[in-house]
Structure 1
Amino acid sequence: MFIVLEGIDGTGKSTQSRLLAEWFGQQGREVVTSREPTDGPWGRKLRESASTGRLSAEDELEYFLKDRKQHVDELIQPSLEAGKVVILDRYYFSTMAYQGVRGFDPTEIRRKNETFAPVPDHLFILDLDVDRALDRIGSRGDAANEFERRDALQKCRDIFLSLKDEPFAHVIDSRRDLEEVQEAIRAELA
């Protein structure tokens, strides 16, 4: 099973990914968790750019595609073929949102990705209004980085929510406490 958690920064994707992996593990399932950008060479360059200054829009999109291709080839596809549950914190839907804000066509980004990246079985869009998301980012001790500006986050949120009618998509209200959000995710999987 291939599960992706998406949403703007501050919605709880990392925490919910970890809780979901623990739940599957308790059921005796073999689970692989990962995130994008990855810790590979392209992903590291992208992560560094969040604090040192964003890359050009073209370079950023190219690095995301290269990072994802390597991720699919080396981890995602082999794990799925081995029958494991794969849970990702971000995937190409984030590229659609964040690079869409920079002027690229989200539909074209999706088309390019789906030539090599498998479509998930379940896409969970953790939804939270931008002001609350920014409050959460600040409360965890982080300063908003180059990817976390209010107007850009609102546009990203709108792009994520545009996916709500996909047959594999589930919008989860992440204003609730951690356990309630996790229960809502598990209920959709059940």
Structure 2
Amino acid sequence: MFIVIEGIDGTGKSTQARLLAEWFREQGREVVLDFEPTRGPHGMKLRESFTGGRLAPEEELALFVADREEHVAQVIAPSLAAGKVVILDRYYFSNMAYQGAIGFDPQEIRDRNEAFAPVPDILFILDLDTDTALARIGGRGDETNEFEKREDLERCRGIFLSLKDEPFVRVIDASKPMDEVQEQMRAEAS
């Protein structure tokens, strides 16, 4: 089973991914819990740029694709072939949203990625209004980046929600208590 968890910053993706992985392990399943960008060479270059000065948008998108190609080949595809549950915190849908918010065509990003990257069995979109997301981001003590501005997050949220009618997409209200969000995710993944 391949599960991806997406949403704007501040929705609780990492926490929910970890809790879902723990639940699957309690069921006796082998789980690979991972995230993008990865800690591989392309992913690390991206991570460094987030705090040390953004790359040109085209270069950034190319690095995301290169990082994902490596991730699919080295982790995702072999894990799925071995019958493991793969849970990702962010995937190409984040590129559709975040790079789409700065002017790239989300459908072109999707097509480019789906040429090599498997579509998840379930895509959980943790949805949260922008003001609440910004309050959460500010409360965790991180330095904000350029995408953690209201207008940018609104555009990103709109792109995520444009996927709501896809058969594999489940939109979850991330304003609910953490355990309720997790309960709904587990019910959908059962």
| TM-score (norm: length of structure 1) | 0.98
Quote the Cα distance in structure 2 between the aligned partners of 1:46 and 1:98.
14
Partner of 2:123, secondary structure, is: strand
Aligned to 1:34: 34
Structure 1 unaligned spans of 5+ = none
Percent identity, aligned pairs only, is 69
What are the superposed Cα offsets for residues 16-38 of structure 1, whole Å, 9 maximum, x if unpaired? 00000000000000000100000
Amino acid corresponding to residue 50 of structure 1 in structure 2: F
Partner of 1:33, secondary structure, is: strand
What are the superposed Cα offsets for residues 34-91 of structure 1, whole Å, 9 maximum, x if unpaired? 0000001111111111112211110011000000000000000000000000000000
Quote the Cα distance in structure 1 between the aligned partners of 2:106 and 2:81.
28
Aligned to 1:184: 184
Q: Give the superposition deviation at 1:147.
A: 2.6
Amino acid corresponding to residue 160 of structure 1 in structure 2: F
Quote the Cα distance in structure 2 between the aligned partners of 1:150 and 1:48.
23
Whether the aligned pair in 2 keeps the contact of 1:53 and 1:146 (CA below 8 Å) is: no
Q: Give the superposition deviation at 1:163.
A: 0.3
Amino acid corresponding to residue 7 of structure 1 in structure 2: G
What are the superposed Cα offsets for residues 105-164 of structure 1, whole Å, 9 maximum, x if unpaired? 000100000000000000000000111111111111113112322211110000000000
Aligned to 1:20: 20
Aligned to 2:61: 61
Aligned to 1:84: 84
Within-5 A mapping of 1:1-190: 1-190=1-190
Quote the Cα distance in structure 2 between the aligned partners of 1:45 and 1:186.
34
**Number of paired residues?**
190
Partner of 1:39, secondary structure, is: coil
Structure 2 unaligned spans of 5+ = none
Quote the Cα distance in structure 2 between the aligned partners of 1:127 and 1:49.
26
Amino acid corresponding to residue 141 of structure 2 in structure 1: G
**RMSD value over aligned CA atoms?**
0.7
Amino acid corresponding to residue 151 of structure 2 in structure 1: D
Amino acid corresponding to residue 35 of structure 1 in structure 2: F
Quote the Cα distance in structure 2 between the aligned partners of 1:170 and 1:144.
28
